Amino acid sequence: MTGIMPDKQPTPLLKNPHLWCFSTYFAEGFPFSIIRSVSALFFRDRGVSLEAVGLTTFFGLPWILKFFWGPLVDEFATKKRWLLAMQATLAVMIGAAAFLVPMPAAPRLIAILFFAGAFVAATHDIAIDGYYLAALDKAEQTKFLGYRIMAYRVAMLTGTGVIVTIGTAFSWMAAFLFAGLLLALLAAYHYFFLPECEEERRPFGKMLGLIARPRLLLNIGLAVAIVAGITLFFYSPLYDRIEQAVPLMQALTFPYLVGLGLLLTLVLLAVFRNKLAARLTRDPDSFYGKAFLTFMDQEKIGLVLAFIILARSGEFMVSSMTSAFAVDLGIKQHYGWIGGGIGLPASIAGALIGGWMISRFGLKRVIWPFLMAQNLTNVVYMLLANGLAGYLAVNTGAASPVFIGEGNLALFAGVTFFEQFASGLGTAVLTTFLMRICKMEFKAAHFAIGSGLMSLGGIVAGISSGFIASWLGYGNMFLVSFLISLPGMILLFWVPKK
């Protein structure tokens, strides 16, 4: 039975949640920033198309699917053991990316590596969120919400600030090496000092036996082989000959075909959603069945699910393109210090103020204005892109871009400040909302289900962002991102806010 371990008394220093809340949530946010944000700027800096940059949102797929294996983190081993294993693995994978940078096929190889790393990072998130919910009671969870989000935002902006600055000013090899080393140090610290807060229900080895069934391994191997085969086909001489023989294939580039494939996958998931749900819950006494059934047993669950899916769609569309936007403006060398020196304080302020206002006034009174502030960021970016359209036309793809001027650079920094502050507010209320719908027995699984569904609308919007920006320009893309955020805000009038 999971619970506080009476025989494990941490030292007074380790009893203080400020210490481990910061270190664990920094460790959660940092690989997310490398895989989801820094990678987009790296790929655009290496000349990758906007459509392909938009497809890096596909790296967020594991955060959508993580509810499939979220119950495993609750059922086997402990949250601490899970997060240590995932942190060490991420350190190795991100460090390995550094040695791929000099290769001619670096963007393609690093994309494959980061996609695999995204599954590890998503599992890492499940473990850390579950640890937080297991180690603190509800009052403490609310008390440390702002601090937890602050640590996550510091990690995000360490990636977009420090790592990007190293990559653009020195080399991307040094940047990825430093990122991997930082994660390795965090893993070592948590191994020696992070206190245990629970006992394992079932040993980790039992899970390995469950996974290592021949049929499951065969299906996984088949899926990997199909993906690898399709990828190799698109870069083979045979595909080159087909492309030359069929003019339509020249228009359907690899990013377009991947986008169409993702859209088809989502349609199939929607069509077969009932069969999928029935399969997952066919045994109501299993930990899978209980986790999903208890999550669905909530007031107005249809509205809740719709709100969760739509809540961050506009924000994800913007965040998928901001780094490419900076590169095409010709200010990639400034993006690091703007993110770290301007965005970081704003993000911390937004997280702390958001957490304090939720505890002071309640979630119901602040959630709508906070989300409105978050989504108004899209409109501000639209105005900025339209105002700097001339520089975008001149600097996109230019070897020696024209400087946009001190005034415009300050304007970009001001928009970044507002974006990060509003994002901190939005993250505070949405995280609180997800925590309120978690049942105590399935804390990690329910939070994984909720956060995974919240990423669903975001990944569809993010994947489309590169295509829309390529077709209509950055200004119109930011306008579209605001429009798709409106349905989620409208649903707030009917969604229960516990």
pLDDT at 55: 76
300: its two tokens:
């107005």
441: its two tokens:
């027995």
How far apart are alpha carbons 377 and 363 in whole angstroms? 21
How far apart are alpha carbons 140 and 5 in whole angstroms? 18
Q: Judge whether 257 and 234 are in contact, CB under 8 Å.
A: yes
Same domain? For 419 and 309 the reply is yes
Q: Buried (b) or exposed (e) across 159-179, using 16+ Cβ within 10 A?
A: bbbbbbbbbbeeebbebbbbb
Give me the residues paired with residue 76 across strands.
202
pLDDT at 135: 74
Same domain? For 177 and 263 the reply is no
279: its two tokens:
């399969």
Using alpha carbons, select from 160, 133, 154, 161 the residue that is nearest to residue 145. 133
Same domain? For 217 and 196 the reply is no
Same domain? For 105 and 68 the reply is yes
As for how many domains the chain has, the answer is 2
Same domain? For 99 and 183 the reply is yes
Question: Looking at the domain assignment, is residue 61 inside a domain?
Answer: yes
Sequence-distant (≥ 6) Cβ neighbours of residue 36 within 8 angstroms: 56, 57, 59, 60, 319
pLDDT at 270: 54
Sign of CA dihedral 439, 445, 446, 451: positive
Give me the residues paired with residue 202 across strands.
76
Question: Looking at the domain assignment, is residue 150 inside a domain?
Answer: yes
Same domain? For 387 and 445 the reply is yes
| C-beta pairs of 253-256 under 8 Å, 24+ apart in sequence | 253/49, 253/51, 254/52, 255/49, 255/51, 255/52, 255/54, 255/55, 255/466, 255/467, 256/51, 256/467
pLDDT at 458: 75
Using alpha carbons, select from 406, 396, 415, 409 the residue that is nearest to residue 473. 396
pLDDT at 231: 65
How far apart are alpha carbons 319 and 161 in whole angstroms? 15
pLDDT at 313: 86
CATH number at residue 388: 1.20.1250.20
By CB neighbour count within 10 A (0-12 exposed, 13-18 middle, 19+ buried), where does 214 fall?
exposed
pLDDT at 416: 92
Q: Judge whether 307 and 450 are in contact, CB under 8 Å.
A: no
Sequence-distant (≥ 6) Cβ neighbours of residue 287 within 8 angstroms: 71, 74, 75, 445
> Which amino acid is present at 209?
G
Sequence-distant (≥ 6) Cβ neighbours of residue 308 within 8 angstroms: 434, 450, 453, 454
pLDDT at 384: 95
| Residue span of the structural domain in which 286 resides | 14-212+272-491
148: its two tokens:
């937890």
Same domain? For 235 and 319 the reply is no
DSSP, residue by residue, 266-313: HHHHHHTHHHHHHHHTSSTTSHHHHHHHHHH-STTHHHHHHHHHHTTH
Same domain? For 89 and 229 the reply is no
> Which amino acid is present at 120?
V
Residue count of the chain: 498
Question: Looking at the domain assignment, is residue 167 inside a domain?
Answer: yes
How far apart are alpha carbons 157 and 38 in whole angstroms? 10
The tens place of each residue's pLDDT in the chain, 498 residues long, gives: 344 444 445 444 655 777 888 889 999 999 999 998 899 889 988 888 887 787 777 787 788 777 777 777 877 878 888 899 999 999 999 999 999 999 988 888 999 899 999 999 999 998 888 888 777 767 777 777 777 877 887 898 788 888 988 998 889 999 999 999 999 999 998 888 887 777 777 776 676 666 666 776 787 778 778 767 766 766 677 766 776 776 555 545 555 555 555 556 655 655 665 666 666 566 665 666 677 777 777 777 778 888 888 888 888 888 888 888 998 998 988 888 887 778 878 888 888 898 889 888 888 899 999 999 999 999 999 999 999 999 999 988 887 889 999 999 999 999 999 998 998 898 888 888 888 877 766 776 787 777 777 777 777 777 788 888 888 899 999 999 999 999 988 988 888 766
What region does 495 belong to: left with phi over 0, alpha with psi -120 to 50, or beta?
beta
By CB neighbour count within 10 A (0-12 exposed, 13-18 middle, 19+ buried), where does 386 fall?
middle
Question: Looking at the domain assignment, is residue 25 inside a domain?
Answer: yes
How far apart are alpha carbons 170 and 163 in whole angstroms? 10
Same domain? For 240 and 350 the reply is no
pLDDT at 2: 43
Same domain? For 161 and 86 the reply is yes
pLDDT at 238: 75
Q: What are φ and ψ of residue 159, in 5° steps?
A: -65, -55
